[in-house]
Structure 1
Amino acid sequence: MGLLTFKKGIHPGDKKDLSMHKAIQDLLPKGNLVFPMQQHIGAPCDPLVKKGDRVCVGQKIGESKAFVSAPIYSSISGTVLDVTPRLHSNGTMVSSVIIENDNIYEEVLTMVPHSDYEKLSKNELLAIIKEAGIVGMGGAGFPTHIKLNPPEGKVIDSIIINAAECEPYLTCDYRMLLEKTDEIAEGLKIILQMFPGVKGYIAIETNKPDAIEAMKKATANINNVEVTSMLTKYPQGAEKQLIYAITGRELSSGKLPADVSCIVQNVDTVFEIFNAVVNGKPLIERVLTVTGEAIKEPLNLRVKFGTSMSEVIEAAGGFKEDPVKVISGGPMMGTTLSSLDVPVIKGTSGILCLTKEQAKLEQESSCIRCGKCMSVCPMFLNPTKLNSLVLRGEYEVFEEYHGMDCIECACCSYVCPAKRHLTQTCREGKRTININRRKK
């Protein structure tokens, strides 16, 4: 029997050797910190502080009454300098709380530790997770308390922990698996307690054999948990592809994991569930990878939210040559940054700095109808057709061809011999359609 995987996909060089052997280091920020009030899918938070207020580590500084949202906490102590729009890593201006760092790191206790969490009900655990501000740490940023509370009538039988980390260059999940093994196992136990009788899976690609063994050892005494070895292939960690690889169930267009009885959580999210429930700690920092051929010393760093990305790069020794491109996240699905003066937020899994050689953008030529894009698309789409529809502005037909199902994994762009900007046009098509829907 072969290794678990999904249909189609690609095998890019993983480039993980740059940072995979670098143990996690803590980074204490030097300058002022910026906390965008939008760090999650859903409604942005309303600031709870104003200019001149003193705040402490773990103090709630943003919250929304909307159903889909997640509170934001200060990661430092200091004085609020302003509440004003600032540049976000997604390129937009977002209302942000700017705090002057006093370098004291005075804490305030706002949550209660529960080492005896076995006594807590599902609703009590969900309330703790919500209060802690936990969202999907893989980049999507969907509030975790909602994901763990599927609609009535949805029967869950599989909890899948996404530890594939299929994006090239990134190694923060891998280091967490090695260094926070027991905590991740305990976090999974907490989730399983909310869904009695379900099967738990920890999905790890085979290019991380030591992480597979570590998690097998840590979960040996947990009932109904399986550490699964996944074929190293991209995008193995995409939600729909991971569900298919583990369960064989196909998630049709417009459906959610709960519709096929699954819940998928990123491995860092599971750690933060442990941290919130057992230690009573809100989400104020994360581990990220700063890497790429333009970086002097690729590292895995635990960074406090609000820290400027320029400070993170400085902690890695700065640039050994000027980067042509800096990306928040990985090379396939990350966001190109227009400035380094943007803060680390909940979804910042990495900072990738590429040289001219790595970031070379080839000139587009005419499609040669080779079909390679179709042969690798994990969503079974026709990327070249979608590309032409967007270029002609035929958005209704784009939807008819299921363009909105594109997961923007960039497999098509990667293999295209004509160097067509297939992913970029699909992304633009989806964005235009969503904007038009909001206008109606």
Structure 2
Amino acid sequence: MSLTEREQGAAGPSPVPPAETRRPTPTVADVVRAVTAEPLPVRVTGYDGTAVGPADAGITMGINSERGLSYLLTAPGDLGMVRAYVRGDLTLGGVHPGDPYEALRVLKEQLRLRPPALAEGLALLRGLGRERLMPPPPPPQESAPRWKRVVNGLRHSRSRDSSVISHHYDVSNAFYELVLGESMTYTCALFRSPGDTLEQAQAAKYELVAGKLALRPGMRLLDVGCGWGGMVRHAAREYGVRALGVTLSKAQAQWAQAAIEREGLGGLAEVRHLDYRDAPREQFDAISSIGLTEHIGVRNYPGYFRALGGRLRPGGRLLNHCITRADNRAPHRSGAFIDRYVFPDGELAGPGRLIGEIHDVGLEVQHEENLRAHYALTLAGWCRNLVANWDACVAEVGEGTARVWGLYMAGSRLAFERNEIQLHQVLATRTDPRGVSGYPLRPDWPA
């Protein structure tokens, strides 16, 4: 016997606990049971072969890798689930990734989370091991957290606004064409009936805005945050209005200007790649802001509406169309998913705050309406387009980005349906020093 062998024999091999005393590694099913309350509304399956929840559930959730479980365990709120879903480490069975609305509805309405008991939680943490509790790198579609965006300037500075707008709107014009449809309009539509097509409803929305602004041939319109130029082209084509649109997205401006030339509207319409703060300081007869207010920051409302009011002639009209909170007490900033993946730095206020700020800069509020139900229908239409064009969308932007869009649009539809967010149009006029607004005794646009 060698010295080494004698030493080993004397010292004995490293002790190995008996199998019955070793703590088993928690399964995916163990983790799910620890953080949810029965009954589960979906079936959850794990990469380790375990499952929990009713076998006949219409919706299944697959946690398909150790990385996916780590995402769920290491990110707060819904961020971990989003990261795993975007990476493909979490899948939802029973729904299409272009429209996971039904899965989100079931989870929102029926899934109940609970904190595990202290002893249970500590046992899970010890059993999972350190490697499972180390956050994996986020997907490439995720924007930096708010505090890291300072490299692009302070929140809502010109440079940072330009950067975050590019993050969302410069994804791909071809992708937006597939999702938004022929109207290439990325704001709430107006449905005369639920059976209207997206194109009909978007045209009706532009008609409503034009009517509220009382557009007439020869008038001058400024459309801030003009997107792909839908309102600008509608005003020029249908009303003979000289219309200028401005957008911070270079891709939008290029597409819109090409569409203007293609439609023969170059003599009346123009879209510029420009910050609304740099729009010409001339007196316009009408100003529309359709979906821009969400990006400017609530604390900047006074300067924003003052800037628009200063470009409006006495008697001119301003139409502001934007998403709002359902009340004036809700936080302005969005949750982690929307902020990191969809609208970085986006903020929403309640309708009272919005109307109050317009009023306080000296504009006279004449009319307001809530189109909340219309936005839910709009988002359902966009999801149908994403599902119908899924393969082409994935080829254009990648599956991760396409998943982000399906999740965002389906989740937003649910939020509008549940009255968690709303869409308000506010019409205001610039009254002259004698108190004359030019506004009629009753609204002068078609119902």
Same fold (TM over 0.5): no
Larger radius of gyration: 2
Higher helix share: 2
TM-score, structure 2 as length reference:
0.24
Higher relative contact order (Cα pairs below 8 Å, separated by 6+ residues): 1
